[in-house]
């Protein structure tokens, strides 16, 4: 009897059926709240205008031709999707390639002005792109990059550079320096120890940084709207406005195009979600 009472005493609250049921119910409710906007977007993309105004949860008649229309008609969004993929991957590649050396220097090297530089990196995140639009446009005009995908790639990379450096330096600091020192003793140079030892161990943090930078670049709207006037070069966030007319908004086509706009990000997330959780927590422990 005493042993049974002791087992009951040490039983964790989380193991109680009622507590576990409440936790599962909470998770289900949160999933419903998070996924409901996507459900609405998907169902409204397969309706006609009258059905949209009715407010029914499910369409009276599923019109899958709406999705085919936004892909294959003369108002196809495929070109805008490809532009967004090109811009987002380009900006992500530049931010990661430039961010890794800067983050390594902040995590491993001790130099005068290191704390000031890190403070400037963090403070740069406080500036909104809207405040800098005039200066950005002047710079792009000076270098002949206005109304070009290359100019938009460089701007998106610049605005995400500080976040990439901050996240990567936390990842590098969580990895023990002894690992690189051991590689150096075995005959590796500094660059070899970084590329062969540090970067593979920091892969989860690098992947996490990659997906966040990609999503930020994919969702960017203000700069693209102001800087890109050529319809052939617009990303999906701007190009989707072709269904927003002067007299009416074609909600069914707008929602259908929005569904396709979320697909690349979802695919990227599914491919690398295994590394996401470990990457988010890798900078929380100091070596």
pLDDT of residue 213: 92
Query: SS3 of 244, please?
Result: strand
- Cβ–Cβ under 8 Å, residues 92 and 213: yes
Q: Around Cβ 273, how many Cβ atoms within 10 Å? A: 11
Residue 77 is predicted with a pLDDT of 92
- What is the H or E stretch that residue 252 is in? helix 251-281
Note the pTM of the prediction, 2 decimals.
0.83
Q: Say how far apart CA 186 and CA 190 lie, in whole Å.
A: 12
| pLDDT at residue 200, as a whole number | 87
Q: Is the dihedral of CA 279, 280, 281, 286 positive or negative?
A: positive
Nearest to 51 by CA among 251, 242, 259: 251
The contacts found for 92-98 with CB under 8 angstroms, 24 or more apart, are 92/157, 92/160, 92/210, 92/213, 92/214, 92/217, 94/153, 94/154, 94/157, 95/157, 95/160, 95/161, 95/164, 95/209, 95/213, 96/164, 96/206, 96/209, 96/210, 96/213, 98/157, 98/161, 98/164
pLDDT for 284 equals 45
CA atoms of 227 and 223, how far apart (whole Å): 6
Residue 197 DSSP label = I
CA gap 77, 259 in Å, rounded: 11
Burial of 122-154, coded b for 16+ CB within 10 Å and e otherwise, reads eeeeeeebeeeeeebeeebeeeebbebbebbbb
Q: Note the pLDDT of residue 191.
A: 84
pLDDT at residue 42, rounded to an integer: 92
Question: How far is it between the farthest Cα atoms of the chain?
Answer: 84
Distance CA 105, CA 96 (A): 14
> Which superfamily, per CATH, for 75-284?
MetI-like (1.10.3720.10)
pLDDT, averaged in runs of 10, over the chain (287 residues): 49 69 92 91 89 82 91 90 94 94 86 81 78 86 89 92 89 85 81 85 87 91 89 91 81 91 86 63 47
Domain chopping of the chain, boundaries = 14-67, 75-284
């Amino acid at each position: 009897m005493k042993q049974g009472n002791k087992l009951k005493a040490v039983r964790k609250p989380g193991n109680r059926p009622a507590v576990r049921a409440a936790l599962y119910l909470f998770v289900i409710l949160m999933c419903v709240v998070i996924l409901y906007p996507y459900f609405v977007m998907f169902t409204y993309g397969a309706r006609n205008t009258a059905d949209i105004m009715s407010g029914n949860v499910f369409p009276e008649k599923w019109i899958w031709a709406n999705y085919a229309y936004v892909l294959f008609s003369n108002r196809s969004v495929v070109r805008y999707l490809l532009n967004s993929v090109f811009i987002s991957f380009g900006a992500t590649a530049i931010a990661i390639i430039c961010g890794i050396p800067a983050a390594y220097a902040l995590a491993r090297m001790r130099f005068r002005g290191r704390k000031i530089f890190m403070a400037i990196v963090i403070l740069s995140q406080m500036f909104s792109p809207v405040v800098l639009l005039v200066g950005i446009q002047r710079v792009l005009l000076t270098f002949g990059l206005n109304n070009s995908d290359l100019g938009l790639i460089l701007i998106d990379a610049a605005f995400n550079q500080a976040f990439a450096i901050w996240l990567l330096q936390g990842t590098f600091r969580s990895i023990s320096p002894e690992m690189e020192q051991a590689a150096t003793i075995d005959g590796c140079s500094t660059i070899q120890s970084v590329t062969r030892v540090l970067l593979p161990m920091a892969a989860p943090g690098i992947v996490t940084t990659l997906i966040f930078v990609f999503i930020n670049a994919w969702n960017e709207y203000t700069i693209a709207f102001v800087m890109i006037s050529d319809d052939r070069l617009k990303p999906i966030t701007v190009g989707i406005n072709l269904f927003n007319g002067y007299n009416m908004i074609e909600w069914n086509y707008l929602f259908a195009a929005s569904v396709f706009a979320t697909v690349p990000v979802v695919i990227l997330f599914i491919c690398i979600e295994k590394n996401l959780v470990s990457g988010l927590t890798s900078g929380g422990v100091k070596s």
